[in-house]
Structure 1
Amino acid sequence: MITRTTAGPRRALAAGAALALTATLAACGGGKNNNGGGGGVLTVATGSTGNFVRNFNPFAPQPLQATHGMIYEPLFHLNAAKAGEIEPWLATKYTWSDGGRKLRVTVRSNATWNDKKPFTAEDVAWTFQMAKDDKALNQYALPIASASTEGTYTAVITFTKSAYTKEYFILGKMKMLPKHIWSKIPDKERATTLNTNPVGSGPWKVKSVKGMTMDLVARDDYYFKGLPHFKVLRYRSFTGNSGVTAAVTSGQIDWGGGFIPDIKKNYLAKDKNFELVNIPLATTFFVPNAQRGPTADVNVRKAISAALDREFMNRSVYDGQAPVANPMALLLPNYESVLDPSLKDAVIETGQDKVDTYLTDSGYTKSGGMWQKDGKKLSVTVELVSGWTDYVSVAQLAKQQLKKAGIELVVKAESYAQWTNNRARGQFQMLLDNSGYTPDPRAYYAQLLDSSIPPKIGESTNVGNFGRYSNPIVDKALDEIAAGKDLAKQKRWYYRIQREFIKDMPAIPLFYGQNEQEFNGNRVTGYPTEDNLYAAPSIWLDPDGGWVAARIKPAKSGQ
């Protein structure tokens, strides 16, 4: 991995003045063969998403997983599992200036799109300009002012305000698009086109999409020489977690990420070469709608939280492998550097007395053991994906616990497509979801709480703050963090966010989300491990999954 130096402002994830990045990949599993795709088929499980819809539009609410990282790529790889580790991807160097209002990016000179056209800074500038001109395509709510080029391989993006907080999204999440393809798509169609035959810069091209199987084929001209190591990347989808589990435990899947109950017995004990990599990267939440419905009342949110026995859920569903979250929803120890010292021992308050106090304060009364207001009982509907069996179990336990406290919880299990659509549009009362998957606490809190991200209810966002929470104090703190020059000075703004989170509970933290990734060592090697965590090991994670997919290798005993 690279060593980075910075000049100027120090930040949690340093921007790096005149930051040069090497292209050496030996530590990340680069191969010696000059032509990628020397192995056979790498079979991965996408989870319980049902039949594939041939949609590779990066702006769609639910594009196929291969869209991000396998076909379309960002400028850099910001390791989601290790804060501060950055590798060159489509770009090799970046420099911040003007207090975070100007970003100069040098792109590599040897990259091409999969239609053989060269990738240049013009593609970068055009991608950012398109996001600037169309709010619907500005997925990460970037304050873009302009985008231009300086020669063939340098792009310059300016922002209306300091964009340090958005660095992870600008450099590590936003996918570069080919101007010669996307400029021909009418403006009004860019967010809705299915983009069935995508032209990307990544190591794979789409071969076929049929039912619950999708095949990508390796490019023979990928700019990372020797990558990828497999000729075909095969995705398999299932209708539920039980199907994923059966395929993974029987050795049909080389790389999976489904929840497996009692995983030591039901997976690891089945084959000495089966390996589990579990690096928690997120917090699991009940995400309430903060704009409408019963959960718009902060006291209702706090009452729901107080009624939950998280440790019982952890033991019952996750075999004790999902530690209870803290009331600030701060990912620890990942973000310990910004933890408010006064909150280091803070725990989520629970108990019937807390439930009673919060609901009484909001004008609720109890009748027949259930809370009501204005003659209507307190009832909240939580939506979750029907195939996610661990979440189904969590929701059913929550239903029992809330009923005991006098609150009705209606559990609505639905298809992945319906759930993501409702989430994107804010058309729900409460969701069972998770958030995180970033090495940067700035990006974590911004994605979770920034009121500038979501549009009004009914309009779509894929970025975050799905509950449409808005707090000017939090927004100001995020702006101050973005403009800060010193982490020591930024800390007080992080502390303010944590206190506001406890006060408002914009999301109800449950526990640290599990990230169990299963690898069939009879078939594959070179995947991230705790000893070599060169990327987050999740096949579904955007874009780390793409980074890993290109570097994972056939095992010597593989077919």
Structure 2
Amino acid sequence: MALGALLPLAACNQPTATERGILHFLIASSPNNLDLRQGTDAQSERVGALIYDALVEKDDHFNLQPWLATSWERPDPLTWIFHLRSGVRFHDGKPLTADDVAWSIRSMTNGALITAKGGAFADIVSIEVRDPLTLVVHTHQANASLLFNLSDGLFGVVEKGAGREEGLHPIGTGPFKFVSQLQDKEVVVERNPSYWAGAPKIEHIRFDVVPDAITMALEMKKGSGDAESSDITLDMVHALRGLPNLRTESGPGSIVIYANFNVNDPALRDRRVRQAIACALDRPALIAALWRGEARPANTFLPTDHWAQASDSQLPLYPHDVARAVRLLDEAGLKPDKNGIRLRFTLKTSTDETTRLVSQAIQQELHEAGIELTLRSAEFGTFYSDITKGAFQMYILRWIGSNEDPDIFRYAYATASFPPKGGNRGRYSNPRIDALLQAASAETDQAAQRRAYVEVQQILANDLPGIPLWYPNNEVVHSARLTNVKLDPGGSFNFLRTAELQ
């Protein structure tokens, strides 16, 4: 049954007097581990970031700004010196010191924890605590991403000695204190009245787990839920928009959806063929039809307004142009057969419904340029195994969070990042890209880093080992009693720090 038919059946409920101080936030799944050293799923990172504080926080341009660390220096490419904020206390009253920060980092690599995040700190060779508010981190090679990996959502400072069970009853320094968790049902947090950055306005938040998107939309409609964040479909958001008890917020998102090529495949080895495919795509039409206009075309992996993002004027672009696509295929020696087909290849995807619809639309668009695209979908485990092994010609996937760090280009396209060492699944290799990325990692001046990253983006936009497609918007639906909702591109729940509940 369509959501539009179901919505009128749901009556509007008002919160009871005992619930007026409780925000009911609907999430699609339980956090796997609220300890940010261990939790890697989106819910763990978003809810965990309300309980724990990071050393630094990303601003609107993805520059890293002081948070628990008030300042830092990088005297040479292998050394980081952090100066910590004084007067910060954990939820149990203990003061934050450099020993806590040192343990939080060391525990991810010394065997105290088994965590997928340990690899981000594998370059660290030692951590020196100089005094209660100063620590020095030494690495064996230049690592420009170290600071990013200590930022909000990815990292949270725990008390010295906190072990594998920390996520069962987390104790952080963040704006909210942990109260309880029932797996697959709810997580409850309460305001930290002594928060060093100012106490939140909301007294209690109950994160209610609602796996089914239609059920979630109905809960929002009848007033049982106060907020959801990008967990229901755009059609559902559209159906809820304009209802008197609800408000809809939409803002630029940092997630990027992209297509990637196997550049060693004989059919796709010539970059003119990849450029032709890009020209045959009508991204504005796809965004209008499949995303209701709630996305923006992407020409690079980095989010809009990122400090290292190359501007459109600095990049070769591929607007929809079938004639140019045909001309490029001609130049690559691909002539039409008796059926008008110049190129045949296969696109692999997961069984995700949105990706399936996108793939079908792309199939139709490419056909206009004489390109016959075969679609092959599989459940995510099989799909991901195939692309990691290089058993594909082209696939569609998304980068979530990791593309906020310009080091994404090293992970996705450096020669040293072929799986299993990285995410260069298309086996693209360019010595100039490798040299630029190495130079950027060792550079301590951001302006010089930007120059290197801009050139990387220019080369990638010319070689096209992959095609950035679009950035979907962040969509938050919330009750009218929740006010002062300010979204951030990363889709975090940080707006709950300052939002108010009427």
- What TM-score do you get using the length of structure 2 for normalisation? 0.75
1:514 is displaced (CA, Å) by 1.8
2:8 is matched with none
Amino acid at match of 2:350: E
Q: How does 1:400-419 map to 2 (within 5 A)?
A: 400-402=364-366, 405-410=370-375, 412=377, 414=379, 418=381
Q: Is the 8 A contact 2:317 2:461 kept in 1?
A: no
Q: Deviations over 1:418-442 (max 9, x none)?
A: 4997599677745533337589673
- Give the paired residue count: 474
Q: CA separation in 2, counterparts of 1:117 and 1:61?
A: 27
1:152 is displaced (CA, Å) by 2.4
Q: Is the 8 A contact 1:54 1:196 kept in 2?
A: no
Amino acid at match of 1:86: Q
Q: CA separation in 2, counterparts of 1:45 and 1:437?
A: 21
Change (3 A) 1:219 1:428: farther
Q: Deviations over 1:518-553 (max 9, x none)?
A: 332x22123216xxxxxx166xx4xx42x3333322
Q: Is the 8 A contact 1:525 1:553 kept in 2?
A: yes
Amino acid at match of 1:347: Y
Amino acid at match of 2:156: K
2:347 is matched with 380
Is structure 2 residue 139 aligned with structure 1 residue 159? yes
Q: Deviations over 1:213-242 (max 9, x none)?
A: 3222226576445336232331333334x4
Is structure 2 residue 25 aligned with structure 1 residue 44? yes
Q: CA separation in 2, counterparts of 1:455 and 1:180?
A: 36
Q: How does 1:271-310 map to 2 (within 5 A)?
A: 271=244, 274-288=247-261, 301-310=274-283
1:398 is displaced (CA, Å) by 1.9
Amino acid at match of 2:212: T
Q: CA separation in 2, counterparts of 1:132 and 1:481?
A: 25
1:399 to 363, 367, 370: 363
2:419 is matched with 456
What SS does the aligned partner of 2:297 have?
coil
Is structure 2 residue 322 aligned with structure 1 residue 351? yes
2:460 is matched with 501
2:204 is matched with 231
Give the structure, 1 or 2, with the largest relative contact order (CA under 8 Å, sep 6 or more).
Answer: 1
Q: CA separation in 2, counterparts of 1:111 and 1:68?
A: 18
Q: CA separation in 1, counterparts of 2:270 and 2:221?
A: 44
Change (3 A) 1:137 1:53: closer
1:154 is displaced (CA, Å) by 1.9
1:505 is displaced (CA, Å) by 1.9
Q: CA separation in 2, counterparts of 1:45 and 1:426?
A: 37
Q: Is the 8 A contact 2:90 2:96 kept in 1?
A: yes
1:513 is matched with 472
Change (3 A) 1:62 1:347: same
Amino acid at match of 1:270: L
Change (3 A) 1:552 1:194: same
Q: How does 1:171-320 map to 2 (within 5 A)?
A: 171-172=151-152, 173-182=154-163, 196-202=168-174, 203-205=176-178, 207-211=180-184, 213-218=185-190, 223-224=195-196, 226-227=199-200, 229-240=202-213, 242-258=214-230, 260-261=233-234, 266-271=239-244, 274-288=247-261, 301-320=274-293
2:118 to 118, 138, 141: 138
1:250 is displaced (CA, Å) by 4.7
Q: CA separation in 2, counterparts of 1:99 and 1:218?
A: 42
Q: CA separation in 2, counterparts of 1:428 and 1:111?
A: 51
2:65 is matched with 86
Q: Is the 8 A contact 1:142 1:166 kept in 2?
A: no
Change (3 A) 1:514 1:351: same
Amino acid at match of 1:354: A
1:435 is matched with 399
Amino acid at match of 1:254: D
Q: CA separation in 2, counterparts of 1:140 and 1:398?
A: 36
What SS does the aligned partner of 2:296 have?
coil
Q: CA separation in 2, counterparts of 1:62 and 1:264?
A: 24
1:501 is displaced (CA, Å) by 0.7
Q: CA separation in 1, counterparts of 2:418 and 2:108?
A: 15
Amino acid at match of 2:496: A
Change (3 A) 1:349 1:139: farther
2:6 is matched with none
Q: CA separation in 2, counterparts of 1:101 and 1:466?
A: 29
What SS does the aligned partner of 2:485 have?
coil
Moved more, 345-354 or 498-507: 345-354
Q: Deviations over 1:159-189 (max 9, x none)?
A: 334444543333443333444133xx5xxxx
Q: CA separation in 2, counterparts of 1:537 and 1:512?
A: 10
Q: Is the 8 A contact 1:208 1:215 kept in 2?
A: yes
Change (3 A) 1:292 1:62: farther
RMSD: 4.4
What SS does the aligned partner of 1:174 have?
coil
Q: Deviations over 1:396-430 (max 9, x none)?
A: 31233345543334253646xx4997599677745
2:101 is matched with 124
2:9 is matched with none
Amino acid at match of 2:419: K
- What TM-score do you get using the length of structure 1 for normalisation? 0.69
1:136 is displaced (CA, Å) by 5.1
1:365 is displaced (CA, Å) by 8.2
Q: CA separation in 2, counterparts of 1:294 and 1:285?
A: 19
Change (3 A) 1:92 1:55: closer
Q: CA separation in 1, counterparts of 2:177 and 2:303?
A: 33
1:497 is displaced (CA, Å) by 0.8
Q: CA separation in 1, counterparts of 2:92 and 2:390?
A: 39
Q: CA separation in 2, counterparts of 1:145 and 1:379?
A: 45
Amino acid at match of 1:552: A
Q: Is the 8 A contact 1:205 1:217 kept in 2?
A: yes
Q: CA separation in 2, counterparts of 1:204 and 1:488?
A: 39
1:122 is displaced (CA, Å) by 1.9
Q: Is the 8 A contact 1:384 1:414 kept in 2?
A: yes
Q: CA separation in 2, counterparts of 1:40 and 1:300?
A: 58
Q: CA separation in 2, counterparts of 1:263 and 1:146?
A: 51
Q: CA separation in 2, counterparts of 1:218 and 1:305?
A: 49
1:97 is displaced (CA, Å) by 2.9
Amino acid at match of 2:83: T
1:479 is matched with 438
Change (3 A) 1:153 1:490: closer
Q: Deviations over 1:331-381 (max 9, x none)?
A: 4454587538553x7334643763685598498985866667xxxx62221
1:75 is matched with 55
1:554 is displaced (CA, Å) by 0.9
Q: CA separation in 2, counterparts of 1:254 and 1:537?
A: 21
Name structure 2 gaps, 5 residues minimum: 1-17
